[in-house]
């Protein structure tokens, strides 16, 4: 029996570009429920690899994509020479399929700063082609409830990152900024894809939301007069470019996103809302990270009906202007914030890694923003005249989900 000869990885890499390759077989080890046609779509490009370097690169991309579209929990590509061939190769994928059923409990902090507990359950790759069904129930210490169930279907194919999803949810929440409670029952259909050679992210959403606003005794009359049931049908379209190295506390890269929401064909809501989000981050000497973000929103009502208080622009809170209560910047009536027809917010951050360096950071920020009234005659002038500024420093703790 002949012995195999092993070489250093760098030696093989140096020769890989000029080494022709012919893929004679692609084999999967560990497959039980995944459909054969789904696997063929994911790895068909491997057979077009012209040299060993390209084959290694494409095999790595295929293994990663199998996990990202939900077909596998774990995948590793191993390349071996084909028997009785000098240029032939066999690609072996060692895979682990998703569990038949998952369930868990999670405690954390919501975007509103409230402690919450979530119960979740789901099933991945339901039909063997990456489909997923997930349910979640969330309860906060302040009494908010949210239940949702969603189904997702990815479009399979070489390096395709697109899917369609459907979500049903029911939410009961208190809104302290205008002293009211809101119940929402919604159905959402969404498409996520990529354009322009996968450089442009694209999302389309169709929303149908039945809302009930319940004003408390402390709410201003401007809130009380909008209480009751409303039905909103809206279409959202968003495009984005994202070159950040990570979504939370990026150390380099930019995010540019423009979104439009149109409501008015059916239901009670009738408006057009435009939103522009910009983010940028860059490393500095001594380990510092400089980051900045800018957000602009503009809302215009259609027809004679006034834009509902639930659809207006709001600012304030840890997501935009720190130091102010959640959604409390802008026009007020008594102790209720009424939102506005336009808003601007800009923040500059400075981070310095501490110990451990990838989790704990020193953080300083300077933020500014303003909200213009829904009835403003000169929106730009009002945004200039009503600026709010906050600054501070502290610590930032980032928890990143481990990768296996």
pLDDT for the residue 94: 96
Cα separation, 278 vs 321, whole angstroms: 15
Cα separation, 218 vs 177, whole angstroms: 11
Contacts of 3 (CB under 8 A, 6+ apart): none
pLDDT for the residue 378: 93
Enter the pTM of the model.
0.87
Contact 24, 15 (CB under 8 A): no
- Tokens for 253? 């890269």
Contact 219, 371 (CB under 8 A): no
pLDDT for the residue 362: 94
Cα separation, 151 vs 123, whole angstroms: 10
Cα separation, 213 vs 310, whole angstroms: 9
**Other beta carbons less than 10 A from residue 39's beta carbon:** 22
Q: H or E segment at 393?
A: strand 388-397
Contacts of 338 (CB under 8 A, 6+ apart): 178, 220, 222, 223, 309, 312, 330, 331, 332, 374
pLDDT for the residue 397: 83
pLDDT for the residue 404: 38
Q: H or E segment at 346?
A: strand 342-353
pLDDT per residue as tens, the chain (404 positions): 456 555 555 555 555 666 888 899 999 999 999 999 999 999 999 999 988 889 999 999 999 999 999 999 999 999 998 887 778 899 999 999 998 889 999 887 766 667 789 999 999 999 999 999 999 999 988 889 999 999 999 999 999 999 999 999 999 999 999 999 999 999 999 999 998 888 899 999 999 999 999 999 999 999 999 999 999 999 999 999 999 999 889 999 999 999 999 998 889 999 999 999 999 999 999 999 999 999 999 999 998 888 999 999 999 998 899 999 999 998 899 889 999 999 999 999 999 999 888 889 999 999 999 999 998 899 999 999 999 999 999 998 887 654 43
pLDDT for the residue 21: 83
67 half-sphere exposure, CB direction, 13 A CA radius: 16
């Amino acid at each position: 029996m002949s012995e195999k000869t092993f070489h250093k990885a760098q030696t093989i890499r140096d020769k890989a570009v000029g080494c022709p390759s012919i893929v004679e077989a692609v084999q999967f080890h560990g497959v039980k429920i995944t459909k054969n046609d789904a696997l063929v779509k994911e790895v068909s490009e491997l057979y077009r690899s012209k040299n060993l370097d390209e084959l290694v690169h494409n095999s790595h991309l295929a293994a990663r994509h199998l996990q990202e579209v939900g077909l596998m929990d774990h995948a590793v590509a191993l390349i071996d020479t084909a028997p009785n061939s000098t240029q032939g190769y066999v690609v072996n994928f060692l895979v682990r399929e998703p569990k038949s059923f998952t369930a868990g409990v999670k405690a954390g902090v919501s975007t509103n700063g409230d402690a919450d507990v979530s119960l979740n359950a789901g099933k991945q790759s339901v039909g063997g082609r990456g489909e997923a069904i997930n349910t979640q129930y969330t309860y906060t210490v302040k009494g908010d409830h949210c239940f949702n169930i969603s189904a997702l279907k990815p479009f399979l194919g070489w390096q395709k990152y697109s899917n369609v999803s459907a979500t049903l949810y029911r939410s009961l929440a208190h809104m302290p900024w205008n002293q009211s409670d809101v119940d929402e029952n919604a159905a959402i259909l969404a498409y996520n894809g990529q354009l322009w050679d996968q450089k442009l992210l694209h999302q389309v959403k169709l929303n149908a939301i039945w809302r009930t606003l319940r004003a408390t005794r402390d709410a201003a009359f401007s809130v009380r007069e909008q209480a009751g049931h409303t039905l909103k049908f809206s279409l959202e379209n968003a495009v984005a470019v994202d070159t950040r190295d990570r979504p939370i506390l990026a150390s380099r890269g930019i995010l540019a996103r423009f979104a439009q929401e149109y409501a008015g064909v059916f239901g009670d809501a009738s408006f057009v809302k435009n939103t522009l989000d910009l983010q940028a981050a860059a490393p500095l000497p001594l380990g510092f990270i400089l980051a900045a973000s800018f957000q602009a929103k503009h809302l215009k009502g259609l027809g004679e009906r006034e834009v509902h208080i639930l659809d207006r622009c709001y600012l304030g809170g840890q997501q935009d202007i720190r130091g102010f209560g959640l959604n409390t910047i802008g026009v007020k009536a008594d102790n209720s914030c009424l939102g506005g027809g336009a808003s601007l917010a800009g923040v500059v951050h400075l981070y310095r890694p501490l110990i451990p360096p990838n989790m704990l950071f020193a953080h300083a920020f300077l933020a500014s923003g303003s909200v213009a009234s829904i009835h403003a005659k000169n929106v730009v002038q009002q945004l200039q005249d009503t600026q709010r500024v906050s600054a501070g420093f502290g610590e930032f703790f980032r928890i990143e989900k481990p990768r296996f």
